[in-house]
Structure 1
Amino acid sequence: MAQATNNLCKPGVMESKPVLVVHGGAWAIPDDLAAESVLGVKHAAKLGFAVLAGGGGAVEAVEAAVRVLEDNPAFDAGHGAVLNADGDVELDAIIMDGATLAAGAVSCVRNIANPVTFARALLEKTPHIMLTGLGANQYAESLGIHQVPTEDLVTENAVAEWEQYHKYKQAVANLFNKHMVHDTVGAVAMDHGGNVACATSTGGITNKMVGRVGDSPIIGSGGYADNLSGAVSATGHGESIMKVTLARRILLDMEGGKVPKEAADAGLSYMKNRVHGHGGVIVISKSGDWAARFTTQRMAWAAVKEGLLHYGLNPGEDLLEDINDFN
């Protein structure tokens, strides 16, 4: 069975400086959600980084950060997830260990508030990478993973969005043409041992077909982590991201010598030009350099490294404060 990597440094290996980056989704975040979205990613980044600062591993840190975002109804993951065509909630998530390439992913799961934790259980307890639908929920029940009523995961905003769209194709077209792809969440991290990890979680697109799976749980699309290159978590129009396997594409460019910002911009540009898709990514390299890039109107993101909290929402924005000054 695959196991999460031990975070301790190997003898003779220089200790790395930990770093953690999170995103709350790339889309046209309205002004009335802007402040809440920024506050949410800052909070997730601080709590995720605290795991690293305490000696925890990258897998543990990205899970902790994404759990915070899943618990925040401002984001489309866990609490606050959007509704499918039947008015139900179906959730997707992935987590990946860059040291071993072990991954756990779940898709179309219901009534689970923290699918990222369920995904980690798959990584650690089974030889499989992905479980979906009814079988996934049955396995979650066998593990004793807490399940909640659907109404606990649904917000008034999610219901209002669902009522706005009557057909799946119309919903996707409207979101895509307006650059409004709702807010998947994710995290990437490097721990003291130089190990990297990624995690991505989502409720998908409003009024999606029942059983639709987007990029988020697909290895190489919604996320990828490899100690030999780095880690990526993606957000945006899922079908476009899958067509270009965005996360893996970015890491291949980094293996070819590009720094995170260059590789992220190249991958997003290719997706835009090749399949007219928009989105965003957070990226970390094997040396601990990082980037948060997007082609949508906005993306809420935050990063912590060496005691500094970086965050932003609008294009070109990189605000900075001492991590100890943020409560």
Structure 2
Amino acid sequence: MEPKIIVHGGAWTIPPERQKAHIDGCREAVERAWPMLQRGASALDAVQTAVNVLEMDPTFDSGRGAVLNSDGQIELDASIMDGRDLNFGAVAAVRRFMTPVDIARKLMETEFCFLVGEGAERFAREQGLKECDPRALVTERELKLFETICNQQGYCTHDAFKPVPQGTVGAVAIDRYGNMAAATSTGGTPGKRPGRVGDAPICGAGVYCDNLLGGASATGFGEGIIRTLMCRSACDYLAQHDAMTAARMGIELLHARVQGHAGLIMLNSKGEYGLFHNTDHMAHAYVLPDGSVHASVHRDA
């Protein structure tokens, strides 16, 4: 089977001066992971690598560059899922590791699925993963946004149509053996309550993958995505619809039931792409049939 990979870097109203960085970052993630798939790497390795690239890129709300919560701290969430056997790993409220998807991947080798906070970080240390100073995650851009939030009463981050970072990242891949994987990683929403967990680490909400159907990764306002289990719902639509239609139906379900705004990337078991968003933009990239990479912030570009 011809391998495929698609990534996203957030669904929101991306200011013009930041669009190129989002496009370039998504392109780089695909360009790093795609050759691995061509050489026979697993879909799991490919999505982990792609998400790592995005976590280390300060453009996005994940890892370095993540938004700050109301205490001025960064708390990261991430997940990864194997479509072969539905194995799943997730972490939440991680503060000292730049690439939390790596912790989630290690967790898949245990009997557990989900660790949070200090427990997740202790596990990461036991696994020999590299710890970082929390200050290494903070960017000047997010410090300025934090000051704006602190000084502006009634500031609302749940508005998809203003330039508030919602740069959650994710990837979905299928390898040459027909196995699929998906991963999602985020810093959450600006000014969130400490301890808040969004959709990214929740199986069926911000990520889902099943070889029998397909895989999906979401980006947007997590509370609505959780309430509709949007990624699982979109994958269920793949039983009767093509990937583009299933992605659109997943977003339409979100908006109809909870008035939510988000973006969604997908692959079905045939290796067909799906993507849809009801925000102004969604940064994304994927491999074209000729091996080149398409990257954009518009679904119709």
Aligned counterparts, 1:221-236, within 5 A: 221-236=205-220
Partner of residue 75, structure 1 = 60
Give the 3-state SS of the residue equivalent to 1:299 in structure 2: strand
1:220–1:167 distance in 2 versus 1, CA, 3 Å = farther
User: Is the 2:14–2:163 contact (alpha carbons within 8 Å) kept by the matching residues of 1?
Assistant: no
Partner of residue 101, structure 1 = 86
Distance between the aligned counterparts of 1:25 and 1:226, measured in 2?
A: 23
Give the 3-state SS of the residue equivalent to 1:106 in structure 2: strand
Partner of residue 69, structure 2 = 84
Partner of residue 99, structure 2 = 114
**Alpha-carbon shift at residue 99 of structure 1 (Å):** 0.3
1:315–1:135 distance in 2 versus 1, CA, 3 Å = same
User: Is 2:55 aligned against 1:53?
Assistant: no
Q: Which amino acid aligns with 2:121?
A: N
Aligned counterparts, 1:142-181, within 5 A: 142-166=126-150, 170-173=154-157, 175-176=159-160, 178=162, 180=164
Aligned counterparts, 1:182-221, within 5 A: 182-221=166-205
Distance between the aligned counterparts of 2:152 and 2:104, measured in 1?
A: 27
**Alpha-carbon shift at residue 176 of structure 1 (Å):** 4.5
Q: Which amino acid aligns with 2:287?
A: V
Question: 57-66 or 143-152: which moved more?
Answer: 143-152
- Find the partner of 1:313 among 274, 279, 297: 297
**Alpha-carbon shift at residue 164 of structure 1 (Å):** 1.4
TM-score normalised per structure 1: 0.88
Partner of residue 40, structure 1 = 25
**Alpha-carbon shift at residue 139 of structure 1 (Å):** 1.1
**Alpha-carbon shift at residue 175 of structure 1 (Å):** 3.1
1:52–1:169 distance in 2 versus 1, CA, 3 Å = farther
User: Is 2:125 aligned against 1:141?
Assistant: yes
Structure 2 stretches lacking a partner, 5+ long:
none
**Alpha-carbon shift at residue 292 of structure 1 (Å):** 2.0
**Alpha-carbon shift at residue 48 of structure 1 (Å):** 1.0
Q: Which amino acid aligns with 1:229?
A: L
Partner of residue 112, structure 2 = 128
Distance between the aligned counterparts of 2:152 and 2:186, measured in 1?
A: 17
- Find the partner of 2:236 among 249, 252, 267: 252
User: Is the 2:245–2:274 contact (alpha carbons within 8 Å) kept by the matching residues of 1?
Assistant: no
Question: 176-185 or 241-250: which moved more?
Answer: 176-185
Matched residues, percent identical?
Answer: 40
Distance between the aligned counterparts of 1:227 and 1:169, measured in 2?
A: 47
TM-score normalised per structure 2: 0.96
Partner of residue 283, structure 1 = 266
User: Is 2:285 aligned against 1:302?
Assistant: yes
Q: Which runs of 4+ in 1 moved over 2 A?
A: 166-181
Q: Which amino acid aligns with 2:267?
A: I
**Alpha-carbon shift at residue 308 of structure 1 (Å):** 2.7
1:168–1:101 distance in 2 versus 1, CA, 3 Å = farther
Distance between the aligned counterparts of 2:113 and 2:54, measured in 1?
A: 23
Aligned counterparts, 1:15-34, within 5 A: 16-34=1-19
Deviation sequence 1:271-308 (CA, Å, 0-9, x none): 11211110101100000001221111111100014313
User: Is the 1:23–1:41 contact (alpha carbons within 8 Å) kept by the matching residues of 2?
Assistant: yes
Deviation sequence 1:152-206 (CA, Å, 0-9, x none): 0011111111111139994445535648451100000000000010000000011
Distance between the aligned counterparts of 1:77 and 1:149, measured in 2?
A: 15
How many pairs does the alignment contain? 300
Distance between the aligned counterparts of 1:49 and 1:170, measured in 2?
A: 44
- Over aligned residue pairs, what C-alpha RMSD do you find? 1.6
Distance between the aligned counterparts of 1:152 and 1:67, measured in 2?
A: 16
Give the 3-state SS of the residue equivalent to 2:159 in structure 1: helix
1:316–1:305 distance in 2 versus 1, CA, 3 Å = closer
**Alpha-carbon shift at residue 122 of structure 1 (Å):** 0.3
Distance between the aligned counterparts of 2:159 and 2:86, measured in 1?
A: 33
Deviation sequence 1:127-150 (CA, Å, 0-9, x none): 111000111111111112111111
User: Is the 1:20–1:305 contact (alpha carbons within 8 Å) kept by the matching residues of 2?
Assistant: no
